[in-house]
Amino acid sequence: MRTKYNYRKTLMYVVLIVYALLSLFPFIWSLLISFTPMTYTDDRGIERGVDIMEWPPEMDLFEFPPHFFGAPATGENYEEVFHIAPYGRWILNTLIYASMVTLANLFFDGLAGYAFARLRFRGRDLIFSLLMATMMVPFPAIIVPTYLLISDMGLINTFMGLILPKVSMVFGIFLMRQFFLNLPIEIEEAATIDGASIPRRAFSVMFPMARPAFITLGIYTFLNTWNDFMWPLIVTTKKEMFTLTIGLNFFKGSFYTVWPYMMAATMLMTAPMIILYFSSQKYFLEVNVSSGVKG
């Protein structure tokens, strides 16, 4: 019995380790390539090309700088990304897009979520269930009218056009409502007895208590908007208005892709989200679990 148990446990370990390697490998691989120069000059002063497809790669990790594909690692691909494309501008665009959408969602979804959870008004549950039903609507299905609407407003290639359709999300309202429902009602009752008005109750009593929910919603929205693809693809046609996800296509050559540049660009847009994830893992898992169990 004992040995059988150990055997099972070992098997589980193998599964976990293999999958962990599988999860990490693509990132490590592209990170290495992003530091690999296209060409380098060897000891004898001869210029050599670097083959990033070479297998097994000629690694030398104990030298400084380390060698990943037989050539000394360099940060020049990262510099080059800013020279051949308006990459700095794309970072700025993405930051503006993601932070504006996030701030707007915190405010509007927070208000609506509170109202749906705690205020009684006619038609509340009907409106809420109607909203829930729209969560299933696939965005590509309604992309044409959404585009035409923004286009008629003259908002193509503007931040307003990017941001406006996203300033309130049904999922955000759902998340906030869920949180407010779980807060003890006694605190609010006490505030009411003390003569606090409804806006006061919401803004000074409930919202401060909902801080974790706001952080969760904020991080979720920021991540999703940062990674958003289809909407920026359609609303931005000028290079200056691209977000990072759309800009990535710029590095894709039609016949030949310079992989070290491409991977440097990829790492630059991925790193902030991974850092955000590591610094606030709790909140990432919160979205996952709260929508999973209560949904």
Partner 1 sequence: MSLRTKEGFYGYLFILPAMIIIGVFMLYPIVMTFWYSFTNYNGTEQNKFDMLFVPEDALQFHFGEFMEDLIPEDSQRLEKAFNAISLIEFDIGVKLSEEQKASFSNEYFKVGDLMNDFLTGSLAEQITVKQFLERYLTGKGRNLLSYQPVFTGFSNFTKAFKDPYFWTSLKNTLLFSAIVVPVQTLLALLLAVAANQKIWGQKFFKTTFFIPSVTSSAAISMIFSLIYTKPGILNQMFGIVGIPAVDWLNNPQTALGAVMAMNIWTTAGYFMVTYLAGLQQIPASILQAAQIDGASPSRIFWKIIVPLLKNQTIYIVTMGIISTLQVFDQIYMLIRNLRNVTLSYYIYKNAFEYGEMGYASALGVVLFILVFVVTYVFKRVYREERVVKEVKR
Q: How far is the CB of 15 from partner 1 (least distance, A)?
A: 5
User: Which of these ranges, 69-77, 128-136, 181-189, 208-216, lies near partner 1 under the rule CB under 8 A?
Assistant: 128-136
| # of chain residues touching partner 1 (CB under 8 A) | 93
Told to check if 22 binds partner 1 by CB under 8 A, we report: yes
Count of beta carbons in the 10 Å neighbourhood of residue 101: 24
Considering only residues 52 to 71 of the shown chain, the ones binding partner 1 according to CB under 8 A are 53, 55
* Cβ closest to partner 1, residue 33 vs residue 73: 33
Q: CA-CA distance, 101 to 97, in Å (whole number)? A: 6
* Cβ closest to partner 1, residue 26 vs residue 45: 26
User: Which of these ranges, 64-72, 73-81, 83-91, 273-281, lies near partner 1 under the rule CB under 8 A?
Assistant: 273-281
Told to check if 20 binds partner 1 by CB under 8 A, we report: yes
Q: CA-CA distance, 157 to 236, in Å (whole number)? A: 5
Give every CB contact of residue 241 below 8 A, 6+ residues apart in sequence.
93, 157, 158, 162, 235
- Residues 266 and 34 sit within 8 Å (Cβ to Cβ): yes
Q: Which of 15, 59, 84, 181 binds partner 1 (CB under 8 A)?
A: 15
Residue with tokens 């630059």: 268
User: Which of these ranges, 74-82, 179-187, 208-216, 286-294, lies near partner 1 under the rule CB under 8 A?
Assistant: 286-294
Told to check if 23 binds partner 1 by CB under 8 A, we report: yes
Q: How far is the CB of 45 from partner 1 (least distance, A)?
A: 29
Count of beta carbons in the 10 Å neighbourhood of residue 174: 22
Considering only residues 138 to 177 of the shown chain, the ones binding partner 1 according to CB under 8 A are 138-149, 151, 164-165, 167-168, 170, 173
Q: How far is the CB of 79 from partner 1 (least distance, A)?
A: 19
Told to check if 188 binds partner 1 by CB under 8 A, we report: no
User: Which of these ranges, 75-83, 183-191, 208-216, 270-278, lies near partner 1 under the rule CB under 8 A?
Assistant: 270-278
Told to check if 9 binds partner 1 by CB under 8 A, we report: yes
Told to check if 273 binds partner 1 by CB under 8 A, we report: yes
Residue with tokens 């310079």: 258
* Cβ closest to partner 1, residue 215 vs residue 273: 273
Told to check if 8 binds partner 1 by CB under 8 A, we report: yes
* Cβ closest to partner 1, residue 45 vs residue 56: 56
Q: Which of 91, 132, 196, 233 binds partner 1 (CB under 8 A)?
A: 233
Told to check if 84 binds partner 1 by CB under 8 A, we report: no
Give per-residue burial for 9-45: e unless 16+ CB within 10 Å, then b.
Answer: eeeeeeeeeeeeeeeeeeeeebbbbbbbbbebeeeee
User: Which of these ranges, 17-25, 39-47, 66-74, 83-91, lies near partner 1 under the rule CB under 8 A?
Assistant: 17-25
